[in-house]
Amino acid sequence: MRVLLVEDDRRISADVEAALKAVGYVVETVRDGEDAWFKGDTEDYGAVVLDLGLPGMDGLAVLKRWRDNGRTMPVLILTARASWAERVDGIDAGADDYLPKPFRIEELLARLRSIVRRSAGHASSVVTSGDITLDERQMKVSLRGVPIALSPLEYRLIAFLLRHRGRVVPQHELAENVYGRDEDHDSNALEVLIGRVRKKLGAELIETRRGFGYLVPETPA
């Protein structure tokens, strides 16, 4: 899943970016409010981690413009501003959660998982589809209760499809949420990756809808 990280403090942004990548997110980082607004307004992200104290445009103004333009991605605010009134302003502007600085990386990851789940209509960090179980907190995928060894790319692919099960995901959207900008891939790489996942988790798990994309179908509880 693609995450937009907006933070002008280079030390904090480097730490957060590394932590997000370590748990399977594809991260794009910007440090300026104008750049953040343009990115969030013109590209699709699964979530945004947004600092309020930004050069160019304040993070609160960025968020308000996103929401005014109909952008609905979940947003987690980071800020050193501690007053309750400023927190209320952030929530009223359309933030999904608020994390004051300093913070623990573990709490940031937990809050990010939570707002992503809520945006997708899921209450739990565990997702089940037939014999497949995804535990996002532990970053584990199991088949009939047996953990399956997956590469980071394989995990990103199946996690994204399971989060969006029941919806046909276009090829370009899936590729954007599986590969980072620093990872080279050709036009056949996604098909090869899907083939590897099918071998490990079952050929019937991921359906190919020719001309449309890929689908993990909803299964009855």
How far apart, in whole angstroms, are the C-alpha atoms of residue 94 and residue 88? 10
pTM assigned to the model:
0.78
DSSP string, 119-140: HHT--SSEEEETTEEEETTTTE
- Residues 160 and 196: beta-carbon distance below 8 Å: no
Architecture of domain 126-215: Orthogonal Bundle (1.10)
pLDDT tens profile 110-139: 999 989 888 776 667 788 888 899 998 888
- Residues 121 and 167: beta-carbon distance below 8 Å: no
For CATH 3.40.50.2300, list the domain ranges present in the chain.
2-120
Please name the amino acid found at residue 202: G
Confidence of residue 24 (pLDDT cuts 50, 70, 90): confident
pLDDT tens profile 152-204: 899 999 999 998 888 999 998 899 889 876 566 666 888 999 999 999 999 88
Compute the average pLDDT of residues 30-47. 94
φ and ψ at 35, to 5 degrees? -60, -40
Q: To the nearest whole number, what is the mean pLDDT of the chain?
A: 88
- The CATH T-level fold of domain 2-120 is Rossmann fold (3.40.50)
